[in-house]
Amino acid sequence: MFLRDPPPTGMLRRAPPLVHEGTLAAALAPPTQSFSETELSNARSEFADLTDAGFKLDWLKTKFDEVTLVCKISNKVQELEKHIKNLKAELEMEKVRSAARFLSLEQSLLNLSSEMNKKRKLSPE
């Protein structure tokens, strides 16, 4: 059809480079891979360009939404793991402080006991 009657140049948009390379679908294929916010934003922009160009990409939108969710969950897990690591470090520091306070209290009790024993020996009953 286009060989006989080429479309007016204003009717067709040039497809984004990802259409030719097929990398958008390939990039979204492995959901276990972690993507940066920039990569997701770029993919979202390319996806919008493709849908604006008239491509029906419901399947790709579903996949993109899935990958976005996995990335958000992955980022949240990393944040939580970092928070847990910090909490464990705080716990260890608190254990050391508590042990030091316990030893100090124990030493104070020993000193007090020793003083009381001395006073008992010195005071006649």
User: Which residue, 26, 16, 21, is CA-closest to 60?
Assistant: 26
pLDDT, tens digit, 9 for 90 and up, residues 85-115: 999 999 999 999 999 999 999 999 999 999 9
Q: 0.75 exceeded by the pTM?
A: no
Break the chain into its structural domains and give their ranges: 17-122
Render pLDDT for 50-62 as a digit per residue (tens, 0 to 9).
989 988 888 888 9
Share of the chain above pLDDT 70, in %: 71
12: left (phi over 0), alpha (psi -120 to 50) or beta: beta
